[in-house]
A and B are shown apart, each in its own frame.
Chain A
C-alpha cells in the first residue's frame, strides 16, 4: 500500500460544476497537507496548504482535512475550463523542521468542458 492514494481519473465535468478531489493516506504522522495544480509539461503550482485537521478556503477553492479518517479533499466551486489540469495532493510529517520533503499522490487529471 502506498503512503498516499489518489484516484488518477480522468475526471470530466461541465463548466460551473463543483469538483471534489480526494486523497487517502496511511501515515498518521502526516501533519501538513497541500494541494498542487500542474498543467501539462509544467512544474506543480501550490494552491492550498493546511495544517492538521479542519477546513481552509481561498476564493473558489476549499481544502478539508479529516485526520481521524486519514482523508483530505479539495473542492473547486464554479469550475472553469482554465481549471483543467492535474491536481496533486502532497503531505509531510515535519514541514519546516528537520525533514520537510513532500510525499505526493499520483494526481487526478481534471477536464472542465465549456
Chain B
C-alpha cells in the first residue's frame, strides 16, 4: 500500500498519560499535515511540515502538543498530560509541493484517541 499510513489506529489512554502517534506519508511527498477531527465536525488544522521544517502551527496546538519530522520522512505527534478534551481522530495528510505547482492533500486513515 503506497498511501499515507498511521499508527496506531486506535489508542485508549488514561487522563494524564502521554501518547505518541506516527504518520508515514506517501514517499515522494515533501509536505506533511496534522489535523484533528471530533465527532460531527470537519478536520481542523494543527500543524504542517515542509521536509523537516515545521512551518506553521495552529493556535489549537497547545504546549502539551509537539510534532516532529526528524528526517523529512515520517512524523510523530505527541500529546503530554492528556485530557478528556483531547479525545478525537488525529489525521495525517501529505502532499507534494513544488515551486509553481499545486498538488492535492492525501489523508491517512487516522488515529482515534480515547482519553478516559
A98 vs B86: C-alpha distance in the bound complex, in angstroms? 28
Closest 3 CB pairs of A and B: A104-B42, A96-B102, A43-B107
Q: Are B45 and A101 in contact (CB under 8 A)?
A: yes
A-B contact pairs, 27 of them (CB 8 A): A8-B40, A32-B102, A41-B110, A42-B110, A43-B91, A43-B109, A46-B106, A49-B104, A90-B42, A96-B98, A96-B100, A96-B103, A97-B97, A99-B56, A100-B31, A100-B95, A100-B97, A101-B45, A101-B48, A101-B58, A102-B33, A102-B43, A102-B45, A106-B41, A107-B40, A107-B41, A107-B42
Residues from chain B with a CB closer than 8 A to the CB of A36 are: 107
Q: Which residues of B line the A interface, CB within 8 A?
A: 4, 31, 33, 35, 40-45, 48, 55-56, 58, 91, 95, 97-98, 100-110, 112
A51 vs B56: C-alpha distance in the bound complex, in angstroms? 23
Chain A residue total in the interface (Cβ 8 A): 29
Residues from chain B with a CB closer than 8 A to the CB of A100 are: 31, 48, 95, 97, 105
0/1 interface trace, chain A 22-42, chain B, CB 8 Å (1 if under): 000000000010101000011
Nearest chain B residue, comparing its CB with the CB of A99: B56
Residues from chain A with a CB closer than 8 A to the CB of B112 are: 41
For residue A13, CB closer than 8 A to chain B, the reply is no
Q: Which of A46-86 contact B (CB under 8 A)?
A: 46, 49, 51
